[in-house]
């Protein structure tokens, strides 16, 4: 008889399990809505830039063509790397007064900027998308536009610096041949002076009457050899000189970013589903415990 009463009591108090489980599920559903409302929203703003960077130098005679793959070449990669550097982002942060707006240190602002900035290069269209993902839609648009606006000037600056360094390197490579030409010419002038020949060596000089002197002949041959080496060096450098003489098509901001009307990131449904599962689990555990307690107290 006790066993029958206990079984009836068990099922009598089982309504607690169903009630609390249902309540936990519904409560979790609305709790998920609250969590979603409180979750930080991210807004994506995009500015598009016509992105023209000098192609890497490839000698024509080598037969090697410049790649048109989607991977940034060395010159483009340098521009993108400098754009996302701490110095460049620090300038953007200072311009927009982000440290003051966000209440953060300059270093933390740069870190946040770097995390929210993405540069997407489409080589086939010479287009660069500057994507800024931030918690504020207006600031996201301001950052995207500020970064895109700074890139054309940065490309020009990097290109000019590369040009100066490259031309300087050419001069360094040619300097031994310039020195050799100068020394050979000085030697020829000394040989002429020793024979009391008062002429200035040059392309229009008729050397027929002067090469009978052995010292003059030797010095003249040495000078001719030095001139040929220098001319050959300059000819080899001409292609590179022409490369740097060509202007680069200017980059410009093609499409300004605007404050996005909607956010990206968390969706409502996953939040509510997750918290409903939490509520269901908690309701089952609590309901089962209470059911067992009441069953023992009121069999």
pLDDT band per the 50, 70, 90 thresholds, residue 70: low
pLDDT at 2 over 70: no
Q: What percent of the chain has pLDDT over 90?
A: 55
Are the C-beta atoms of residues 274 and 32 closer than 8 Å to each other? yes
**pLDDT confidence tier of residue 228, bands split at 50, 70 and 90:** very high
Per-residue confidence band for 268, with pLDDT thresholds at 50, 70 and 90: confident
| 91 pLDDT higher than 50 | yes
pLDDT of 250 above 50: yes
Q: Give the 3-state secondary structure of 174-236.
A: HHHHHHHHHHHHHHHHHHHHHCCCCCCCCCCCCCCCCCCCHHHHHHHHHHHHHHHHHHHHHHH
Mean pLDDT over 236-241 rounds to 90
Q: State the average pLDDT over residues 36-51.
A: 88
Lowest mean pLDDT of 33-37, 70-74, 227-231, 286-290, name the range. Answer: 70-74
Q: Looking at residues 51-72, what average pLDDT do you find?
A: 63
Q: How far apart are CA 187 and CA 178, in angstroms?
A: 14
pLDDT at site 38: 77
Is it the case that residue 294 has pLDDT exceeding 90? no
Contact indicator for 121, 135 with CB cutoff of 8 Å: no
Residues 188 and 216: beta-carbon distance below 8 Å = yes
Question: What pLDDT is attached to residue 11?
Answer: 72
pLDDT tens, position by position, 174-227:
999 999 999 999 999 999 999 898 988 888 888 888 889 899 999 999 999 999
Tell me what pLDDT residue 291 has. 82
pLDDT given at position 61: 52
Cα–Cα distance, 251 to 258 (Å, whole number): 20
| Higher local confidence (pLDDT), 146 or 1 | 146
Residue 267 has pLDDT above 80, yes or no: no
Mean pLDDT for the chain overall:
87
User: What order of strands is seen across the sheet that includes strand 43-50?
Assistant: 117-122, 127-134, 43-50, 252-255
Reported as a single tens digit per residue, the pLDDT across 95-137 is 999 999 999 999 999 999 999 999 999 988 999 999 999 989 9
Angle at 203 between CA 200 and CA 204, to 5 degrees: 75
Q: 140: closest CA among 183, 87, 98, 86?
A: 98
DSSP 51: -
Q: Tell me what pLDDT residue 68 has.
A: 42
> According to the model, what pLDDT value does residue 165 have?
92
**Alpha carbons 154 and 253: distance in angstroms, whole number:** 13
Question: pLDDT: is 16 or 197 the higher one?
Answer: 197
Residues 6+ apart with CB under 8 A from 217: 211
Long-range contacts of 160-169 (CB under 8 A, 24+ apart): 162/54, 162/75, 163/244, 166/240, 166/244, 167/241, 167/244
């Amino acid at each position: 008889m006790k066993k029958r009463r206990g079984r009836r009591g068990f099922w009598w108090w089982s309504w607690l399990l169903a009630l609390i489980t249902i309540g936990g599920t519904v409560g979790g559903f609305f709790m998920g809505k609250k969590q979603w409302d409180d979750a930080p929203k991210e807004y994506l703003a995009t500015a598009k830039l016509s992105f023209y960077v000098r192609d890497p130098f490839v000698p024509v005679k080598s037969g090697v063509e410049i790649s048109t793959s989607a991977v940034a070449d060395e010159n483009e990669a340098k521009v993108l790397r400098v754009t996302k550097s701490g110095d460049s982002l620090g300038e953007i942060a200072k311009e927009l007064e982000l440290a003051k707006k966000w209440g953060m240190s300059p270093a933390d602002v740069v870190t946040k900027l770097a995390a929210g900035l993405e540069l997407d290069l489409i080589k086939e269209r010479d287009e660069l998308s500057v994507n800024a993902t931030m918690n504020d839609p207006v600031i996201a648009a301001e950052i995207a536009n500020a970064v895109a606006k700074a890139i054309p000037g940065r490309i020009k600056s990097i290109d000019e610096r590369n040009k100066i360094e490259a031309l300087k390197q050419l001069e360094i490579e040619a300097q031994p041949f310039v020195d050799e030409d100068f020394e050979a010419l000085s030697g020829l002038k000394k040989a002429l002076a020793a024979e009391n020949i008062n002429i200035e060596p040059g392309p229009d000089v008729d050397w027929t009457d002067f090469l009978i002197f052995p010292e003059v002949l030797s010095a003249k041959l040495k000078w001719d050899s030095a001139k040929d080496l220098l001319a050959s060096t300059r000819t080899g450098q001409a292609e590179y000189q022409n490369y740097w003489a060509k202007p680069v098509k200017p980059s410009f901001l093609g499409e300004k970013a605007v404050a996005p009307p909607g956010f990206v990131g968390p969706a409502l449904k996953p939040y509510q589903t997750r918290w409903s599962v939490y509520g269901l689990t908690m309701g089952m555990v609590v309901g089962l415990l209470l059911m067992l307690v009441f069953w023992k107290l009121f069999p």
